[in-house]
Amino acid sequence: MLENKSSVLGVAGHVARNVMLGFQQKFLAQSADRILEPAMVMNVDDQLKQYAEGGESGGLAIAYELIIHKFQQIAPEKGQALDICSASGVLLSKLAAMRKDVQFTGIDLAPLALQLGRKRVQSQGLTNVDFKEWDMRRLDSFPEKDFDLITWNLAMHHCDSTDEVVGVINGALKLLKKNGVLFICDVERAKTRDLAVRLSEEMKPYVGDILYEDTLNSYLAAFTFGEFAQILGRTHWQGYEHFHPALGNFFQFACTKVQHKHPQVSRNTRGKTPLALKIDTFLVKNMMLGKM
């Protein structure tokens, strides 16, 4: 009982600090320049393991909540989907479990990630996910097209230039059906280096040391909201919306405007999430996503 109480207080403190950091991110001037990710491709066993743990029940699961919330509103009800930079498919398998009527292909350049992804979907009994080794910079020559949905999550910051991002988005648009949905989410670059450090420190209790470093690197490698707005303006994409979640402004989304909203689908909860994180996720979702 006492333990639960202190865990709730701990989580409340964590959420309060995150909200404070969110306000600072919103109002501080941008002083942190972009620092490229040290390793663009994730092909190291321990790194992938921590990434997967983080996505299943650690700090990354909170980011996934934000993505899933929006995804549920815009994902088509059936058809073919392409997930660019799917890594070992932790998020992809969550999306695929919610949309069994959609056939997903996950692509990544890291063979080890794909191998783990295949094992993951097999162990979860998901028959609607395939993986393919493919470079996101070569979408132009991807063998399939006419996708109903293309997702690109938490990976734009792995591009080494704005030109590369424009190329990936234009490449994705060529693979999309006329009324298909393109869905992009990434973190936003921290306004200051100190903010990037403090944000990553908040994640530290929930992630391993490698994922902690990865988180810090991502906050420094990401594009600012303004940079991404300019990138989007240079693409062939018409009719997109680009926005921050209501308060969760370390994340930014760009997605095709969808007129109709699909009903919420039941969530695939496997009961592995620790109580503290469930509360955290619940609070974050309700505080930050009310207006999404």
Ligand X SMILES: C[S@@+](CC[C@H](N)C(=O)[O-])C[C@H]1O[C@@H](n2cnc3c(N)ncnc32)[C@H](O)[C@@H]1O
Q: How many whole angstroms from its chain centre is CA 206?
A: 17
Please state the closest distance from residue 292 (CB atom) to ligand X, in A: 18
Nearer to ligand X, 16 or 39 (CB): 39
CB 188 within 8 A of CB 225: yes
Closer to ligand X at the Cβ: 110 or 247? 110
For residues 20 and 144, which CB has a smaller minimum distance to ligand X in the complex?
144
Shortest distance, CB of residue 150 to ligand X, whole angstroms? 12
d(CA 149, CA 181): 5
Q: Binding residues for ligand X, per CB under 6 A?
A: 40-42, 55, 85-87, 90-91, 108-110, 113, 135-137, 153-155, 158
CB atoms within 10 A of CB 269: 10
Kindly tell me which of 60 and 176 has the beta carbon lying closer to ligand X: 60
**Nearer residue to ligand X within complex by CB, 47 or 80:** 47
* Least spacing, CB of residue 184 vs ligand X, in Å: 11
Tokens for 85? Answer: 């930079």
Which is nearer to ligand X, 26 or 137 (by Cβ)?
137
Cβ of residue 216: shortest distance to ligand X, in angstroms? 13
Residue 103: other Cβ atoms inside 10 A: 17
Asked if 233 and 274 count as a contact pair (C-beta separation under 8 A), the reply is no
**Would you report the helix, strand and coil content of the chain in percent, each value rounded to 5?**
50, 15, 30
**Helix ranges, the chain (H):** 2-27, 45-57, 60-74, 90-98, 111-123, 162-175, 193-203, 209-221, 225-234, 275-289
Please report how close the Cβ of residue 31 comes to ligand X at its closest, in angstroms.
24
Contacts of 250 (CB under 8 A, 6+ apart): 21, 22, 25, 187, 188, 190, 199, 219
Nearest-approach distance from CB 260 to ligand X, in angstroms: 26
